[in-house]
Amino acid sequence: MRLREASPADIPSIRSIAQAAWPVAYVGIITPAQIAYMLDLMYSEASLREQMTSKGHRFLLAERDGKPIGFAGFEHHYEPGRSRLHKLYVLADVKGSGVGHSLLEAVLKEVERKGDTAIELNVNKHNPSTGFYTRQGFTIEREEVIDIGNGFVMDDFVMVRGI
């Protein structure tokens, strides 16, 4: 497996992974209508381009045999001393193989390199990924419900980990 910095040229690969991973990750947690809405909101070509350029988010892409299999999106200095992991998804057929762990470790190294002392993320309260993040040293800092429009909300834990 190879990890590399993604560029706007990789937007189609990131979109493809998200479109394959989201319906599997969120089945029974949020409705198919909300999945479609959120994919369009956060993973349209225009949205990803804006994240990579004007918002300053960085993306790492995991590849196996030249095929994209996962990604992480993050932002340094989201708050003073704190970075934010915005996205971490891997294809269902590689889940549990260490790809997500490798992506997270690479993000953590970048956070440390940039001088932040903690990283936070949001995860749906009912998402089994909370267990993954707990095993990686994250703790629940707070709960929040975010109105994302179109009658949908994100019902999340904010988890944090020191670096």
Q: Which two tokens stand for residue 14?
A: 């990131």
pLDDT of residue 32: 97
Low-confidence ranges of the chain (pLDDT < 50): none
Q: Are 120 and 162 in contact (CB under 8 A)?
A: no
Summarised one tens digit per residue, pLDDT across range 116-130 is 999 999 999 999 999
pLDDT of residue 68: 98
pLDDT of residue 88: 98
Domains and CATH numbers, the chain: 2-162 (3.40.630.30)
Placement of tokens 């990604």 in the chain = 71
Q: What is the DSSP letter of 92?
A: G
CA-nearest of 111, 26, 23 to 60 is: 111
What is the rounded distance in angstroms from the CA atom of residue 30 to the CA atom of residue 126? Answer: 9
What is the rounded distance in angstroms from the CA atom of residue 26 to the CA atom of residue 129? Answer: 10
Q: Are 24 and 91 in contact (CB under 8 A)?
A: no
